[in-house]
């Protein structure tokens, strides 16, 4: 940073993510986050100093309290019990059991909420059948409780298998399970087309992982164009569509489309992440649109937190400053 003031540096960083280097910034941050020294330090101090802004808390009680407040504000929630690839069958079963407990608590407390989960946490890296049977049991529970399970999308090593499992589960429990398509992936338009043989349920996002250029658009402008394209294709095909973004331009473009095509309000919803831009989601709720806040909780918050840092240099600077002045 030698030779430039902190203010100019922040401005430079802000311009950088507006431009085509956003993917590069994400790649650097996510690879640094893999380092043992960085992860040990961040895990030690990071929750109080930064992660708390994006994570409801470390316990189910924390998540329930935040969900109640979000519901009281007129917004629904989707709860993510944080954690990713597990190492053995016991960990996968424990993760699925935590989700079972979450579903029961949502029902008992009559919360306006469903769950979002990752197949790697259900054991996908150990055994596909294990992940399918644990997820299937959770979708069965959702059916019994008249609720819903969203399968989050992870990095592109998982895209094909996630969509296959989604198709399988949708076949058994139509309407009770949804998944996610990422606009930064070149393949997503084809994936959506292939899954448009009947109306399903998709969340459209830009994508949060570090991906090679062969698979993902490096330029933000292309990701944004593809996001708009996927949202419009999804609505046109009659899929229930969750428009998951904090980008006012993406939201504005969706609103124009749904007005021009008279898309009924019960065919889509807007979603945002806990801790980011919630005032604008609240505004959409007040205008009568369906809205949902993605609420992560749990002790395994490191990977989720680093993805939020990698999305925005200002978050990283804020966190680095807090760490420095500790
Ligand atoms: C409900 C929900 C579910 C998601 N599920 C998945 C998933 O399953 N798989 C997946 O790969 N990704 C998922 N994502 C993350 C997504 O892919 C993006 O990484 C993330 O939403 C940032 O992109 P954006 O659409 O907000 O647009 P951007 O262009 O990145 O950001 C637009 C504006 O939003 C604000 N903003 C965005 N991110 C941040 C941040 N971290 N901190 C502060 N402000 C910010 C800034 O004002 C920024 O200018 C999900 C996102 C949401 C909202």
Domain segments of the chain as ranges: 6-47+307-324, 57-300
- As annotated, the active-site residues are 152, 203
Q: Are 130 and 95 in contact (CB under 8 A)?
A: no
Which atom of ligand 1 is found nearest the CA of 272? Answer: 53
Distance from residue 127's CA to the centre of ligand 1 (Å): 30
Q: Which atom of ligand 1 is nearest to the CA of 242?
A: 1
Helices (H), ranges, 173-272: 188-194, 220-236, 248-260
**Measured from the CB, is residue 312 less than 6 Å from ligand 1?**
yes
Q: Which two three-digit tokens encode residue 94?
A: 């424990």
pLDDT, tens digit only, all 326 positions of the chain: 333 343 433 343 343 444 567 787 788 777 777 776 667 777 777 777 778 899 999 999 999 999 999 999 999 999 999 988 899 999 999 999 999 999 999 999 999 999 999 999 999 999 999 999 999 999 999 999 999 999 999 999 999 999 999 999 999 999 999 999 999 999 999 999 999 999 999 999 999 999 999 999 999 999 999 999 999 999 999 999 999 999 999 999 999 999 999 999 999 999 999 999 999 999 999 999 999 999 999 998 888 988 898 888 788 877 777 777 76
What separation in Å is there between the alpha carbon of 209 and the centre of ligand 1?
11
Confidence (pTM):
0.91
Which class in CATH covers the domain with range 57-300?
Answer: alpha beta
| 158 neighbors 122 (Cβ within 8 angstroms) | no
pLDDT value for 321: 78
- Atom 43 of ligand 1: nearest residue by CA position: 276
Among 86, 88, 79, CA closest to 59: 79
Angle, helices 313-324 vs 6-18, to 10°: value is: 140
Nearest to 88 by CA among 49, 46, 50, 127: 127
Contacts of 47-52 with C-beta under 8 Å, sequence gap 24+, read: 47/301, 49/319, 49/322, 49/323, 49/326, 50/305, 50/309, 50/315, 50/318, 50/319, 50/322, 50/323, 51/301, 51/302, 51/304, 51/305
Strands 113-117 vs 149-151: parallel, antiparallel or unpaired:
parallel
| Residues in contact with 172: Cβ distance below 8 Å, sequence separation at least 6, in sequence order | 136, 139
Name the residue among 7, 51, 303 with its Cα closest to residue 155: 303
The residue whose CB lies within 8 Å of the most ligand 1 atoms, and thus the one to mutate among 247, 270, 274, is 247
């Amino acid at each position: 940073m030698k030779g430039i003031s902190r203010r100019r540096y922040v401005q430079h960083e802000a311009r950088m993510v507006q431009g085509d280097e956003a993917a590069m910034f994400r790649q650097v941050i996510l690879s640094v986050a893999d380092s043992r020294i960085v992860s040990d330090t961040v895990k030690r101090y990071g929750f109080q100093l930064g992660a708390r802004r994006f994570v409801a808390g470390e316990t189910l009680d924390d998540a329930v309290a935040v969900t109640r407040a979000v519901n009281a504000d007129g917004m629904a929630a989707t709860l993510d019990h944080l954690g990713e690839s597990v190492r053995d069958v016991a960990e996968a079963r424990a993760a699925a059991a935590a989700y079972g407990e979450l579903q029961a608590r949502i029902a008992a407390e009559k919360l306006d909420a469903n769950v979002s989960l990752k197949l790697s946490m259900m054991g996908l890296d150990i055994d596909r059948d294990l992940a399918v049977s644990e997820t299937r049991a959770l979708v069965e529970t959702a059916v019994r409780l008249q609720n819903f399970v969203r399968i989050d999308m992870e990095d592109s090593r998982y895209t094909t298998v996630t969509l296959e499992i989604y198709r399988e589960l949708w076949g058994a429990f139509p309407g009770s399970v949804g998944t996610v398509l990422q606009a930064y992936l070149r393949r997503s338009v084809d994936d959506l087309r292939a899954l448009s043989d009947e109306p399903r349920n998709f969340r459209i996002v830009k994508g949060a992982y570090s991906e090679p250029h062969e698979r993902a658009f490096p330029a933000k402008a292309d990701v944004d164009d593809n996001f708009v394209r996927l949202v419009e294709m999804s609505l046109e095909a009659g899929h229930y569509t969750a428009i998951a973004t904090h980008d006012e331009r993406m939201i504005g473009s969706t609103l124009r489309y749904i007005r021009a095509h008279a898309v009924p309000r019960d065919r889509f919803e807007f979603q945002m992440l806990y801790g980011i831009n919630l005032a604008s989601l609240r505004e959409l709720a007040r205008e009568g649109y369906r809205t949902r806040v993605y609420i992560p909780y749990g002790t395994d918050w490191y990977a989720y937190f680093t993805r939020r840092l990698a999305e925005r240099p200002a978050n990283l600077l804020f966190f680095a400053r807090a760490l420095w002045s500790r």
